[in-house]
Structure 1
Amino acid sequence: MNKLLSSAIAATALLGVASAQVTLSGAGATFPAPLYTEAYIPNFTKATGIRVNYQAVGSGAGIRQLTDKVVNFGASDAPLSDAQLKEIQEKNGSPVLHIPTALGPVALTFNLPGIEELRLDAATVADIFLGKIIRWNDPRIAALNPGVQLPRQLISATHRSDGSGTTFIFTSYLSAISPEWKSKVGAGQSVNWPAFSSLGGRGNPGVAAIVAQTPGSIGYVELKYALENKLPVVTLKNQAGNWIKPSLASAVEATSGIELPDDLRLQNQVVNTKDPQGYPIVGMTWLLVYQKQEVTAKSLEEAKALVRFLNWVLTEGQKLNEGASYVRLSPEVVRRAQALVNTMTYNGQPLR
């Protein structure tokens, strides 16, 4: 009996050591990178011993690495299109699941020395990025900011140079509020920027750095990056006519009551909300995983470790969202996301 007990203890110990040696790899969006690398991953590893390596290389690169079976999970703020899903499934033999993790506001941040408060409405934002408003003292900007001494300086409209989910969120907003933008440019992870004077930065950190270093610039970043870099943010007029700053509270207002399809892909993001107190540029972000884990997992144990990570993010991880300036998922979205995770298999074996 003692030998049997000893053997059981030894087997359990070996399993614990093996679990601790599993390292999951992921790549993609910079939008949620502070949440993943500063909150989720350290706490998950501390709780489970499972290491996670996440490379914030942009949504487009993350999708490519998942498609090429380089990583266990991709990360994107732009949901895959029907065509992309079909192409990946035909190539790799498995559907890709969208597991939401958080939502967050995309802030417009600017660099105008001596000016900390700036108001813009939807039409003015669109015309800046369309290249129709090229100087900061344009009468249309001045009319929205009475008493502010705006310089005659050229506007440097800063954007992402890489395939970006944050760009998808921002251009979804521009497409929603500007018929001209929708017809000429449209929404996407990469677009042809028409602004007269534009600069490109890699990742949210790259855009934030350009804005910080370039007087006269304006760019879009997830709010966390503006806060960390102490950059001022634009107050936007929403659809209800109210002036709203990007914040956790105004993002929560915007996302209240949103409806998601069965696969949890939010194709149009949360833009141009009708909520009176809602901020008009909010996006959801996802972890992308293969339903059939044998596509990327090297072992059953690795597949189980990924499922454990996903379920942890959807439960314990959600408690960390607000402290990191991201919106937590609603209980209903968590329930539906966990139902998707429960469909994951490894060589036909359920992983739940």
Structure 2
Amino acid sequence: MKHLRAGLAIGTALTAMIALSSCASNEPAATSSNGGSSSGAASLNGTLNGVGSSAQSNAQTAWAKGFQTANSSVTVNYDPQGSGAGRTAFEGGGADFAGSDSALPAAELSGDFKLCKAGTKGIDIPVYVSPIAIVYNLDGVKSLNLDASVLAKIFTGKIKKWNDSAIADLNKGTTLPSTAITPVYRSDKSGTSANFTDYMHQAAPSDWTAEAADLFPTGIGSGAAKGSGIVAAVTGGKGTIGYVDDSSVGSLSVAKIKVGDSYVAPSAEVASKSAETSPLDTSRTGNDVVVKINRTTTDSAEYPITLVSYLIACQQYQDSSRANLVKAYAEYVTSTDGQQAAADTAKSAPMTGTLLSKAQAAAASIK
């Protein structure tokens, strides 16, 4: 296993790192759907380093394994430090690509990208679509309905007990205990937090007045780093509630979310529909592809707390060898086989239709 280059902190996440070998073409105009390169091309070699989203961690494991099937001379390292840490590492030249559950914000786009050719920037390539699950630990309650307003009041501390009338009104016929509620939030900069806070801000703006943010703004309850920290805190607590990528739920109970007149459980199917029907951010140009999930949908075939997670890469790298590695990997990740490998491992929703086509075109555009 190879470490990331000097200057990039690996810490305890090292055990989660992926180090796999792979070979593909030096100029991969097209990669095959199973991670191989088009015939007749020379082989890739070297090390590819990625840092970022812990939500992508299981998918990155599947992608690296698939890439290895057809390739044997490239080492792929992925360190799931979190979306914010991934973007910082990539922008500073400490990682060849970032995984992020939120797109590059305007403030970061205006800065320099150390590995990119002068005058070019990073681009956001959609690679991973997944619902965010609201997980909870409450004795005797295995089924729970929630809506945006109640969630906002829980995470701002306005609702303090599980038998509060606002929760009871959504759960007729369910006996709710008077247990105190302990919200568990991400203490690190997290794209999962950005998606969750965006949902509350758009769907319940009078109850959640803060803008969407990678850094959870309230500090009410208990903070935990990474999705694994949320799962551990909710599992080990009493009356706890948190939010995690659906791939990390494990044995925890999961709430249904009100959509229109129905209550919808997170699943790949409803997340996929949300991603495909939501508009793209028209302020982004060229191959920078950013989805604006419809948080206020009333269609019960959609799930409003869906995240679209990105592989962030240079549009044009200073180093052509690095560009070839990132391009080959991004093309596999956005292939139909790559998307299915993530779905099989991480319960994610394979991209479809226009979104898939745009993601594939963006991956192919890397130079």
TM-score normalised by L of structure 2: 0.81
The correspondence of residues 34-49 of structure 1 with structure 2, limited to 5 A, is 34-37=58-61, 39-49=62-72
Over residues 5-41 of structure 1, what are the superposed CA-to-partner deviations in whole Å (9 max), with x where a residue is unaligned? xxxxxxx9xx64xx3x52200000111211111x111
Query: Is residue 52–residue 81 contact of structure 2 (8 Å, CA) maintained in 1?
Result: yes
> Residue 317 of structure 1: SS of its match in structure 2?
helix
CA distance in 2, matches of 1:180, 1:88: 37
Given the alignment, which residue of 52, 56, 73 partners 2:97? 73
Over residues 173-198 of structure 1, what are the superposed CA-to-partner deviations in whole Å (9 max), with x where a residue is unaligned? 01011223453x22110032153xx1
- The Cα shift of 1:134 comes to 0.4
Given the alignment, which residue of 260, 274, 278 partners 1:258? 278
CA distance in 1, matches of 2:362, 2:201: 30
Given the alignment, which residue of 147, 151, 165 partners 2:191? 165
CA distance in 1, matches of 2:295, 2:189: 20
The correspondence of residues 294-309 of structure 1 with structure 2, limited to 5 A, is 294=318, 297=319, 300-309=320-329
> Residue 196 of structure 2: SS of its match in structure 1?
helix
CA distance in 2, matches of 1:270, 1:55: 30
| Bigger mean CA offset, 144-153 vs 254-263 | 254-263
- Look up the match of 1:334: 356
CA distance in 2, matches of 1:203, 1:88: 27
CA distance in 2, matches of 1:275, 1:57: 34
Query: Is residue 108–residue 220 contact of structure 1 (8 Å, CA) maintained in 2?
Result: yes
Query: Is residue 331–residue 364 contact of structure 2 (8 Å, CA) maintained in 1?
Result: no
Give the root-mean-square deviation of aligned CA atoms. 2.2
Q: Note closer, same or farther for the CA distance 1:79–1:43 as it changes in structure 2 (3 Å cut).
A: same
Query: Is residue 242–residue 277 contact of structure 1 (8 Å, CA) maintained in 2?
Result: no
- The Cα shift of 1:313 comes to 0.9
Q: Note closer, same or farther for the CA distance 1:48–1:331 as it changes in structure 2 (3 Å cut).
A: farther
Is 1:187 aligned with 2:212?
A: yes
Is 1:200 aligned with 2:223?
A: yes
- Look up the match of 1:8: none
> Residue 159 of structure 2: SS of its match in structure 1?
coil
Query: Is residue 87–residue 98 contact of structure 2 (8 Å, CA) maintained in 1?
Result: yes
Counterpart amino acid of residue 172 in structure 1: D
**More helix per residue:** 1
Query: Is residue 103–residue 124 contact of structure 2 (8 Å, CA) maintained in 1?
Result: yes
| Bigger mean CA offset, 113-122 vs 210-219 | 113-122
Given the alignment, which residue of 291, 311, 317 partners 1:293? 317
TM-score normalised by L of structure 1: 0.85
Counterpart amino acid of residue 332 in structure 2: W
Query: Is residue 278–residue 293 contact of structure 2 (8 Å, CA) maintained in 1?
Result: no
Given the alignment, which residue of 257, 264, 273 partners 1:236? 257
For structure 2, the residue ranges without an aligned partner over 5 or more in a row are 1-38
Identity of aligned residues (%): 29
Is 1:246 aligned with 2:266?
A: yes
For structure 1, the residue ranges without an aligned partner over 5 or more in a row are 1-11, 346-352
CA distance in 1, matches of 2:90, 2:125: 14
* Number of residue equivalences: 319
- The Cα shift of 1:131 comes to 0.9
> Residue 297 of structure 2: SS of its match in structure 1?
coil
